[in-house]
Amino acid sequence: MVKIAVLAKEVPDSDIVDAFAFAGRLQIDPATKTIRRENIAVGMNSYDAQAVEAAMRLRDAGVDCTIQVLSVGGIAPQALFQRSFALGADEGYHLVDNSFAGVDSMGCAHILAAAIRHLGGADLILCGRQGTDYDQGVVGPTVAALLDIPCVSIAKDVRLVSPGIARVVRAIPDGEETVDVELPAVVTISNELGVPRYPTAMAAFAARRKKPVTLSAADIGLDAARVALSGERVRRVEIDIPKREGTCQFLEGNSASDVAAKLAQALSKESVI
Amino acid sequence: MTAKKSVLIVAQDDGGRLDPVVFDTVTAAKRLTGGAQGGVAAVLTGPPGTQALAEELWATGVADVYVAEHAALAEPRADSHARAVAVAVRQARPSLVLVGQTLLGRDLAPYLAARMDAGVIMNATELRLDASGATEVVCPIYGGGVQAVYRVSESPPSVVGFQRTVKSTAERVSHSRGRVIPVDPGLGGFKDKVKLVERSARSGPRLEEANVVVSGGMGLGEAKNYRYIEELAEVLGGLPGASRAICDLGWAARARQVGLTGTRVFPNLYMAVGIAGASQHLAGMSTSKVIVAVNTDTKAPIFKYARYGVTLDCVEFLPAFIAECRKLKSHS
Ligand SMILES: Cc1cc2nc3c(=O)[nH]c(=O)nc-3n(C[C@H](O)[C@H](O)[C@H](O)COP(=O)(O)OP(=O)(O)OC[C@H]3O[C@@H](n4cnc5c(N)ncnc54)[C@H](O)[C@@H]3O)c2cc1C
Ligand SMILES: Cc1cc2nc3c(=O)[nH]c(=O)nc-3n(C[C@H](O)[C@H](O)[C@H](O)COP(=O)(O)OP(=O)(O)OC[C@H]3O[C@@H](n4cnc5c(N)ncnc54)[C@H](O)[C@@H]3O)c2cc1C
């Protein structure tokens, strides 16, 4: 039996954040140095939904596995767990503790590594390539380093080719890289994996009765001071929404060729063509 | 904290030369340390022979280059390289470790921070000092729609991932030979648990070096219209790019993707055709010299960044513009 742990994070909808920022409607909370989330929907980080998908594909391929989903914090984590259960996750673990307030990526990785250890380890740890909020991409490699196991990042395909070996295709700037990695290992999933499936209505309904297990710092044997320490080392002191004044010159004309000629002229004057 | 700043740059190679992001990190590190003598050092990790790259670093004015060579460092894997860098950090004792965000650098920085039990922050575009002399790091978040500033502790030195923000090239400021300080990477019993099966080869000119980039997005309407983008790029002597949305659909190859999770480009001319201008796309092209947007929606975000705007249907406009550019090129 292969044990798969999926790390999943709740994030504000990045399209809405973008639209708000552009419309000048995004607001900052000066106390917490975060954006105000009142009117912004939250949900599972899109890459993490793809990590769940990667786990399901392994199961579809005939891998005998248990799938655990672990998440730290969040304001409405039920949705994230319910979606995971509806897709076929067997167990959910929600990590919450007062001492987790203000954690950074490193602190979050310490929490997750401790939780994985507490749960008896995992053969394959799947996570997203980055959170769509802070775009860090730190948690996966850090969890790997803390557990002293390898990490393969930006994966578009994960298969088990023999007991204890995963074959991972990475989406790299030049195309693809295929590697064999010894398990246990962390693999971070990228959007190139493809669109994740949606749960059926029946599965979603059945999943409503399933609840994640809540674990505190003490439950997983984590020293709260350790988590606080990393929050102090990298502290956000300012947050700001860069304003952009448009100075675009719109080119108009009687026909497409007319506009095309005007643009070609303008660019040629700028010496860029 | 007003203690003297010192930065150790993790310099990475890119097929036998320094990766261009190294020059950005050198510029940022020099600014932070105020150009103080010995304020900026670098570490090179790689297979035997890597030391040759030290000359490129000396030329930028970085005199002290720590070099860890080992056969196990031939592959760009975070685990082995982070071990070697950690040894150099212990020797150099910097107040900050700066890692350029190459494919390796993205993983190496967090691995290294975990090994050193230090703080880590990625995507930095600027390093600066606050009024009290503490080090601050400027990082775009939410794809670039929001900007955050972090104060990072210096003991143990925080690890900062730095992105390429300008098309910088090596600027020779020094002609003197610096020092090579050999480092034992401590990889004696190291066994790589990741084995390469195959890797696509780098081929052709690179997007990030192109002077002209013509990118297409969902506004193209269908896959076959991407050929206009390729044709226009060719006529202009540039390269075709794409938004993530059309790469996800397979209209364009993944290597064409421009943006936060694609390639960052710095051309003289960037044409965004049928691209909305999401912050994650802008993150990869907003520093282009001249931006042209072709988009039927006059309210599309991309127009806030564009110098010239065209609001025609791009499928109608592209053939006309290609013809116009051909005319122009044949006259010149
Ligand atoms: C309880 C709580 C309180 C917080 N308070 C603050 C605060 O006061 N100030 C502040 O700046 N930030 C705060 N954060 C946010 C925090 O800094 C980061 O969001 C978090 O540490 C993860 O780092 P990241 O987004 O950089 O993840 P990345 O490294 O970008 O994420 C990569 C992958 O790691 C996994 N992952 C990341 N985060 C989690 C998670 N929480 N649970 C499970 N898997 C995860 C996912 O698979 C994700 O795709 C808080 C977060 C939590 C959970
Ligand atoms: C973490 C993260 C990372 C991401 N990384 C990237 C990245 O690296 N690169 C990237 O590009 N995206 C990235 N994205 C996705 C990004 O948020 C957008 O979804 C994407 O850029 C949209 O692509 P688009 O502009 O082609 O499509 P759309 O948003 O669908 O926009 C299409 C545009 O075409 C216009 N249009 C329609 N018809 C016509 C016509 N006939 N003629 C002319 N114009 C027309 C429309 O008005 C619209 O503005 C990322 C997202 C996340 C969350």
Which ligand sits closest to the CA of B217? 2
Q: What is the pLDDT of residue B329?
A: 87
Contact B219, B274 (CB under 8 A): yes
Residue span of the structural domain in which B106 resides: 7-182
Domain boundary among B139, B166, B182: B182
What is the distance in angstroms between the Cα of A264 and the nearest Cα belonging to chain B? Answer: 6
Looking at the 3D structure of chain A, how many domains does it have?
A: 1
Q: Are B327 and B228 contained in the same domain?
A: yes
Residues of chain B positioned with their CB less than 8 A from the CB of A175? 200, 254-255
Would you call A241 and B145 a contact, using CB atoms and an 8 Å cutoff?
yes
Q: Smallest Cα–Cα separation from B298: which of B319, B276, B269, B320?
A: B276
Contact A179, B196 (CB under 8 A): yes
Split chain B (332 residues) into runs of 10 and give each run's mean pLDDT: 82 93 95 90 97 96 97 96 98 97 97 96 96 96 94 96 83 88 94 95 88 98 98 98 97 96 96 97 96 98 97 98 95 76
Distance (angstroms) between ligand 1 centre and the Cα of A106 equals 9
Looking up residue B291, the CATH number of its domain turns out to be: 3.40.50.1220
Q: Is A96 on the interface with B (CB under 8 A)?
A: no
Q: Are B91 and B56 contained in the same domain?
A: yes
* Most B CBs within 10 Å, among A27, A182, A234, to test the B interface: A234
Residue span of the structural domain in which A198 resides: 2-231
Q: What is the pLDDT of residue B3?
A: 66
Distance (angstroms) between ligand 1 centre and the Cα of B7 equals 27
Q: Smallest Cα–Cα separation from B300: which of A171, A248, A180, A187?
A: A248
Q: What is the pLDDT of residue A244?
A: 80
Residue B199 counted as domain residue: no
Handedness of CA B9, B13, B16, B20 (dihedral sign): negative
B53 lines ligand 2 (CB under 6 A): no
Pocket of ligand 1 (CB under 6 A): A 7-9, 32, 45, 47-48, 51, 70-73, 100-105, 108, 112, 127-128, 130-131, 133-134, 136-140, 236
Looking up residue B127, the CATH number of its domain turns out to be: 3.40.50.620
Looking at the 3D structure of chain B, how many domains does it have?
A: 2
Write down the ipTM of this complex.
Answer: 0.95
Would you call A267 and B109 a contact, using CB atoms and an 8 Å cutoff?
no
Name the DSSP letter for residue A129: S
Greatest CA separation for chain B? 65
Q: Which of helix, strand or coil describes residue A135? A: coil
Would you call B153 and A232 a contact, using CB atoms and an 8 Å cutoff?
yes
Place of tokens 């710092």: A217
Q: Could you tell me the two tokens for B256?
A: 């064409």
Q: Which of helix, strand or coil describes residue A262? A: helix
Q: What is the pLDDT of residue B1?
A: 43
Residue B188 counted as domain residue: no
Q: Are B120 and B75 contained in the same domain?
A: yes
Per residue in B213-235, pLDDT tens?
Answer: 999 999 999 999 999 999 999 99
C-alpha to C-alpha distance for A116 and A81, rounded to whole angstroms: 17
**pLDDT in single tens digits along all 273 residues of chain A:** 999 999 999 999 999 999 998 888 999 999 999 999 888 999 999 999 999 999 999 999 999 999 999 999 999 999 999 999 999 999 999 999 999 988 999 999 999 999 999 999 999 999 999 999 999 999 999 999 999 999 999 999 999 999 999 999 999 988 899 999 999 999 999 999 999 999 999 999 999 999 999 999 999 999 988 888 888 899 999 999 988 878 999 999 999 999 999 999 999 999 999
Residue B47 φ/ψ, nearest 5 degrees = -70, 165
Q: Which of helix, strand or coil describes residue B240? A: strand
Residue B129 counted as domain residue: yes
Residue B50 counted as domain residue: yes
Please report the DSSP string for B17-48 in residue order: SB-THHHHHHHHHHHHHTT-TT-EEEEEEEST
Would you call A239 and B142 a contact, using CB atoms and an 8 Å cutoff?
no
Residue B2 counted as domain residue: no
A-B CB pairs within 8 A amount to 263
CA distances from A13 to A44, B139, B300 (A): 9, 20, 19
Q: Are B103 and B163 contained in the same domain?
A: yes
Q: Are B30 and B177 contained in the same domain?
A: yes
Residue A135 counted as domain residue: yes
Contact A180, B195 (CB under 8 A): yes
CA distances from B50 to B12, B68, B75 (A): 10, 8, 13
Cross-strand pairs, A7? A70
> Within 13 A of B315's CA, how many CA atoms are on the CB side?
9
Residues 238-267 of A with CB under 8 A from B: 238-242, 244-251, 255-257, 259-261, 263-264, 266-267
Looking up residue A68, the CATH number of its domain turns out to be: 3.40.50.620
Q: What is the dihedral of CA B47, B51, B53, B55, to 10 degrees?
A: 180
Which ligand sits closest to the CA of B264? 2
Name the DSSP letter for residue A183: S
Q: What is the dihedral of CA B12, B14, B18, B20, to 10 degrees?
A: -100
Nearest residue by C-alpha to atom 29 in ligand 2 = B276
Residue B161 counted as domain residue: yes
Q: Return left, alpha or beta for B133; rule: phi > 0 is left, psi -120 to 50 is alpha, else beta.
A: left
Residue B197 counted as domain residue: no
Q: What is the dihedral of CA B12, B118, B97, B74, to 10 degrees?
A: -20
Per residue in B181-225, pLDDT tens?
Answer: 999 999 988 999 999 999 988 778 999 999 999 999 999 999 999
Q: Which amino acid is residue B49, in one-letter code?
A: G
Domain boundary among B127, B149, B182: B182
Q: Are B77 and B219 contained in the same domain?
A: no
Contact A192, A176 (CB under 8 A): no
CA distances from A217 to A78, A93, A200 (A): 20, 13, 35
* CB atoms closer than 10 angstroms to residue B207: 25
Q: Are B216 and B170 contained in the same domain?
A: no
What is the distance in angstroms between the Cα of B82 and the nearest Cα belonging to chain A? Answer: 10
Residue A249 counted as domain residue: no
Residues of chain A positioned with their CB less than 8 A from the CB of B203? 174
Give the predicted TM-score (pTM) of the model: 0.95
